[in-house]
Amino acid sequence: MNRLTTILLLAFFAQVTVADEIPHFKKKGDATQLIVDGKPFVMLAGEIHNSSSSTLEYMQKIWPKLKSSNVNTVLMSINWEQFEPEEGKFDYSLVDGHIQQAYENGIKIVFLWFASWKNGVSSYAPEWVKKDTKRFPLSKDPNGKSKDVLTPLSNNSRDADAKAFAALMKRIKEVDKHQTVIMVQIENEVGIKPQPRDMSEAANKLYNSAVPKELMDYLTKNRKDLHPAILRQWEKGGFKTNGTWPEIFGGYWEADEIFSAWHYAKYLQVIAAAGKKEYPIPMFANAWLPDPNGQPHTWPSGGPVPKMLDIWRAGAPDIDCLAPDIYQPGFKWLCEEYTRNGNVLLIPEVHREGDAPARAYWAIGKHNAICFAPFGFENLPDDHPIIDAYAVLGQALPLITDAQGTGRMTAVYQQDKERESRDTIVSLGNWNLHVRFTETGLPAGGKPGAIIIQKADDEFFFIGQGFEVGFRPQSTRGPQNVDLVSSELGRFENGVFVREIQLNGDETRAHDTTFYRTRIPSRTNFLPPKPRILRVRIYTYE
């Protein structure tokens, strides 16, 4: 075999390996990356309305809008009632059609499996499930009245759902030859309200029985890493390892919510395992978050909210990550909560107000988020700021994914100007970066924010808007004066930075010594106020 033949064979097998490698998670340093088509991938996504994907005809109108809005991924529902209208008879037309249309438009898909529950109720279950309440029992309220919520205690409901989901995953594997479907969400915002759990006779009996050993073994093994809220509830019961739910976890709402979380998690675990047996791409479950100012009964009890993540990890190990739907204030805190103990940050729903770009920069740059998806994306106005933000983020994705897990990337975001200083300091490498926020040029409702990446010791990239930055060495030894080698606004083409404008003078405010000697604006007076990519090189002198 000559050398040319060997090289060609190696190239062929390398292509086969990439083609056969399905989407999966991979650790890189302290980050977890989503690998698609053999490369790290970040979903600059949009979730469309619940019913938009119910027909291929309607979706034909939406694909051009998605494509022109710079998304690389769409989150869209596949619902059980349409997929299995008669028991055992599956309709693959929507699945096949969505995959084909998405591929033709160059957009990836995350399917949302609306089945036993969607937003805490069971409206997407098939007719044959809804009408047979004896076989598929409903949850009860404290007065014994049935709710439109399938109980998570039913093996019949669980197994029927799992069978349909397995058929869905098998079909995706058969028809998706281009890794168009890269993840799947199981159910949507599960839980029950206003009461904290199913109050049926069967549920009450189980609630007053022993907490499963499986859960107690997990809590005992991971005690030092448990969420403080769970630890406090367990402490109220004296850290018992044997007993009923109220005996171990104490309190009315708290013990009941843990009970609900465990049973929803176990239900979804069976569904996830059935699906992964057919096609093991990453899967996640999402949460309707508590209103920070509301009463407990205002959100579905039992979902993977922050304090219940440990319960869900114990009950559903085949679910790869747990995800927040964020419509409340406290975005930074929620990002922290959903990266505890190695959970991968994935934001499948977020409000679409003017601060969406700054939130995206923070989630991706600070927390290595693999997805950011404003809801109702097909209805965004054509001038929505997230569209321009996705344009620059899309260009910079190779730079971003290369920096993930290295400690060379961070982000800034002024979430609340009334409570947060105009100035902040972040550290990268041997430098302290003094960032000053400014609202000049931001869109209505917009907030300052940027991803900051250290490419080399003296070279930095800034992706965002509404900030100025100065540099100082961390060490007090050596030269302390810092100035610019160059400051350039530009774009990325095929991973290569292309300079559009070389900035100096007034545009870098090099003459302004009131702000840390070197002052670099993210905007200029002669360009439209949009998100920018700024490359800066610096040097020190005596």
Q: Is the peptide bond before 194 cis (omega within 30 degrees of 0)?
A: yes
pLDDT above 60: residue 96: yes
Helices (H) and strands (E) in the chain, counts: 15, 23
Neighbours of 191 (CB within 10 A): 27
Residue linked to tokens 């923070």: 362
What Cα–Cα distance (Å) separates residue 344 from each residue in 135, 239, 363? 37, 29, 11
Mean of pLDDT values over 441-466: 92
Q: Transcribe 312-379 into DSSP letters.
A: HHHH-TT--EEEEEE-SS-HHHHHHHTTGGGPPPEEEEE--STTHHHHHHHHHHHH--SEEEEBSGGG
Q: Tell me the pairing of strands 146-150 and 138-140.
A: antiparallel
Average pLDDT, the chain: 91
Region of residue 429 (left: phi > 0; alpha: psi -120 to 50; beta: else): left
Mean of pLDDT values over 464-480: 89
145-195 per-position pLDDT tens digit: 999 999 999 999 999 999 999 999 999 999 999 999 999 999 999 999 999
Mean of pLDDT values over 62-86: 97
Assigned token pair, 122: 């069971």
| Of 16-30, 33-47, 247-261, highest mean pLDDT | 33-47
Assigned token pair, 419: 């409570």
CATH class of 409-541: mainly beta
Q: What pLDDT is recorded for position 65?
A: 96
Assigned token pair, 297: 């009964």
Residue bearing the bigger pLDDT, 191 or 7: 191
pLDDT above 60: residue 517: no
Q: What pLDDT is recorded for position 342?
A: 95
Q: What pLDDT is recorded for position 443?
A: 84
383-435 per-position pLDDT tens digit: 999 999 999 999 999 999 999 999 999 999 999 988 888 889 999 999 999 99
Q: pLDDT band at 144, cuts 50/70/90?
A: very high
Lowest mean pLDDT among 7-11, 214-218, 316-320: 7-11
Residue 419 to residue 95: CA distance in whole angstroms: 47
Domain covering 42-197+259-380 in this structure, CATH number: 3.20.20.80
Residue 464 to residue 382: CA distance in whole angstroms: 19
Contacts of 458 (CB under 8 A, 6+ apart): 485, 537, 538, 539
Q: What pLDDT is recorded for position 2?
A: 53
Contacts of 365 (CB under 8 A, 6+ apart): 400, 409, 410, 411, 450, 451, 452, 453, 463
Residue 502 to residue 496: CA distance in whole angstroms: 16
Contacts of 387 (CB under 8 A, 6+ apart): 69, 70, 380
Dihedral of CA atoms 351, 355, 357, 362 in degrees, nearest 10, equals -90
For the chain, the structural domain boundaries read 1-41, 42-197+259-380, 409-541
Residue 515 to residue 520: CA distance in whole angstroms: 10
Residue 111 to residue 283: CA distance in whole angstroms: 10
Share of the chain above pLDDT 70, in %: 92
pLDDT above 50: residue 18: no
Q: What pLDDT is recorded for position 480?
A: 86
What Cα–Cα distance (Å) separates residue 378 from each residue in 68, 251, 446, 530? 11, 44, 20, 21
Query: Which stretches of 107-206 are assigned E, i.e. beta strand?
Result: 108-118, 138-140, 146-150, 181-188
